Structure 1
Amino acid sequence: MSETVSSPRRGRSLRLAAALTVLLALAGYVVVQYVSGGGGAPRCVVRAADGAGDGSPSYAMSPEQAENAATISAVGTTRGLPERAVTIALATALQESALRNLDYGDRDSLGLFQQRPSKGWGSAAQIQDPVYSAGEFYDHLVKVPGYSRLPLTEAAQRVQRSGFPQAYAKHEPDATLLAAALTGRSAASLSCSAPNSGMAGDPAKVRAALVRDFGPEVLPASAGRATGGSSAELSVPASVTVTAGHHGNSADGGPSPQRGWELAHWAVAQSAVLGIDEVSYAGRVWSAEQASEGWRTADGSTEAARRDSARDVHIRTAQ
């Protein structure tokens, strides 16, 4: 009798073990694809330091989230606001929408910051424009006395008036990391990887997006012209002035490295939506084809090439 009972049990156990093995293998495959970016869902990763080990702080997100984060940062720096303001804005958007431009929310809340038309934040169409909604957030933030010295959750709450005011605090580490990369601080880097969609890019759309996020002065009259005989390449001067006295030249009169990295990381964050194939700056290059390697040392050993790479951010669109 005991053998009759135990045999089905052994059979069930074997089937369960086999099913578990398959599930674990599938989970392992998904994790590998997610981490490597190969063959899996497109994603972007910001790290505390370029090339740092696995133990360094990092934050992974979708291309949509990276695009919105880059826009939020660009709007803040264009207004001459400090990195702390960008960090507060990013943490708020992480909590309110997970950096997605939502067309729904609590009652009539919409967009990245879940702003409400009925509360005077603007029309529904305006709020769903990331540049507009980020600008509205910053407009309210700068009216908070001493906002940059307040705890992040308190500064965000003064703007948002949320029913869960402590919720913003948990996003501060990720927002700080994002802000460090997107404002151009060299201690952090952003890289994106995505399957090759075959989508061609358009330099005119890249220029329009730069102006949309950074303002009309991001591209001087001489910028954006095709270089090297290729209509698919444009140059963005790293020393371009966004606002007077902010992100201009460095102390020695040369291009600002922070400004250059800000533009370079913005371009990588926008690569999926704009069909950007390659971004290079200061002797480093990111490319969609070798995205799994992140930022790597660029070819070009001549002194002229080094001077050029220190001055310009080169953005090449896919063909």
Structure 2
Amino acid sequence: MPRTPSSSRRHTGRSRLLRIAAALAVLLAVAGYLTVQYVTGNRGTEQCTVQSADGSAGRGRTYRMSPEQAANAATISAVGTSRGMPERAVTIALATALQESGLRNIEHGDRDSLGLFQQRPSQGWGTEKQILDPVYAAGKFYQHLAKVPGYSRLPLTVAAQRVQRSGFPQAYAKHEPDAALLAAVLTGRTPAALDCTPTRTAAVPADAAKVRTELVRTFGKGVLPTTGAATGGTSGGASTAGTVSVPVKSARGSGDGATAQRGWELTHWAVAQAEALDINEVAYAGRVWEAGSGWRTERAESGATEVRIGLVR
């Protein structure tokens, strides 16, 4: 039956509406994808790679992230171990930050939520400035986690939820495998497993004093000796031209394994901070990381008593 002019107009109108609806659906889908990528930090800047212990044999797991995410993850880990928290606590903290901010120090969130853990000034977590300091934010998270009875034996979602009081507590679970991988590497248990390629080149020589300041802020005063830092030198935390040396000391009563783990923790922290602090080389225990080329083995075995951090000159 031939369409009347009015039915043709109705058909054309419906077709136009369907096309508009389809276009809007596509735009909304693209916008949603871009939002997720922005929030989680996956924006084509995954210049850091974390590899599990057996990754070289092709059986391990790999996690990729941006230099910003790597620096924040290393800070979260270092603050935890410096407080005497176990690796499990670091895993819980990293999984929480992965869910809450994608390991990005964001200045927005639900209501007045801010920072890596989306902590709220109105709920007593600190001032906006404090919460946006990754060292402070991580410290507050661990402070609350330590008060959770038996947190290390609880499911990760339960432990994280008792700190965060989130409306979506089960969301933390999906991040546990990645958080466990990151924790093993950043606490130093897996050596030479973090590689970062800085995305920018420093325009001026790096500031050794800034590196020492960040070491102390993150790891505590005991990471560097109290003497020699101001006068220069070749060891004991002092700096020569373009180098900061950090002594590797294990906890009292621990063996060589704990000392080596501490050394790799410091090493990985420096690699993760390469872009932020203009670090171009880190050496420890016969292995050298160099910005742009990754890890190599030194011909002459270097000692395991200090981590050498080479700066952009």
TM range (shorter): 0.7 to 0.9
Counterpart amino acid of residue 293 in structure 2 = Q
Work out the number of aligned pairs and report it.
Answer: 264
Shift of 1:238: 1.2
User: 5+ unaligned residues in a row in structure 1: which ranges?
Assistant: 1-39, 242-246
1:227 aligns with 2:234: yes
Shift of 1:196: 5.5
Corresponding residue SS for 1:168: helix
Is the CA contact 2:281–2:309 (under 8 Å) kept in the aligned structure 1? yes
Is the CA contact 2:55–2:61 (under 8 Å) kept in the aligned structure 1? no
Is the CA contact 1:255–1:311 (under 8 Å) kept in the aligned structure 2? no
Q: CA, structure 1 residues 188+276, in 2 after alignment: closer, same or farther (shift >3 Å)?
A: closer
C-alpha offsets along residues 186-233 of structure 1, whole Å, 9 cap, x if unaligned? 367111113461443211111011011011111013565343994111
Alpha-carbon distance between aligned partners in 2 of 1:287 and 1:188, rounded to the nearest angstrom? 12
Counterpart amino acid of residue 108 in structure 2 = Y
Counterpart amino acid of residue 59 in structure 1 = Y
Q: 2:155 aligns with which of 151, 154, 164?
A: 151
Corresponding residue SS for 1:52: helix
Alpha-carbon distance between aligned partners in 1 of 2:190 and 2:113, rounded to the nearest angstrom? 36
Q: 1:217 aligns with which of 199, 218, 222?
A: 222
Q: 2:308 aligns with which of 309, 314, 317?
A: 314
1:257 aligns with 2:260: yes
Counterpart amino acid of residue 234 in structure 2 = T
Q: 1:95 aligns with which of 73, 93, 99?
A: 99
Q: CA, structure 1 residues 310+80, in 2 after alignment: closer, same or farther (shift >3 Å)?
A: same
Corresponding residue SS for 1:103: coil
User: 5+ unaligned residues in a row in structure 2: which ranges?
Assistant: 1-43
Shift of 1:53: 4.0
Counterpart amino acid of residue 83 in structure 1 = E
TM-score, scaled to structure 2: 0.79
Report matched runs for 1:148-297 at 5 Å: 148-186=152-190, 189-195=193-199, 197-199=201-203, 200-222=205-227, 224=229, 225-227=232-234, 230-239=240-249, 247=251, 250-251=254-255, 256-291=259-294, 295-297=295-297
Q: Please tell me the root mean square deviation across aligned C-alpha atoms, in Å.
A: 2.2
Counterpart amino acid of residue 310 in structure 1 = A
Q: Which has the larger radius of gyration?
A: 2
Alpha-carbon distance between aligned partners in 2 of 1:223 and 1:86, rounded to the nearest angstrom? 32
User: What is residue 28 of structure 2 aligned with on the other side?
Assistant: none
Alpha-carbon distance between aligned partners in 2 of 1:175 and 1:188, rounded to the nearest angstrom? 18
Q: CA, structure 1 residues 218+249, in 2 after alignment: closer, same or farther (shift >3 Å)?
A: farther
Is the CA contact 1:87–1:172 (under 8 Å) kept in the aligned structure 2? yes
Alpha-carbon distance between aligned partners in 2 of 1:187 and 1:217, rounded to the nearest angstrom? 22
Alpha-carbon distance between aligned partners in 1 of 2:132 and 2:208, rounded to the nearest angstrom? 25
Corresponding residue SS for 2:289: strand
Shift of 1:69: 0.5
Alpha-carbon distance between aligned partners in 2 of 1:188 and 1:169, rounded to the nearest angstrom? 27
Identity across the alignment (%): 62
Is the CA contact 1:223–1:236 (under 8 Å) kept in the aligned structure 2? no
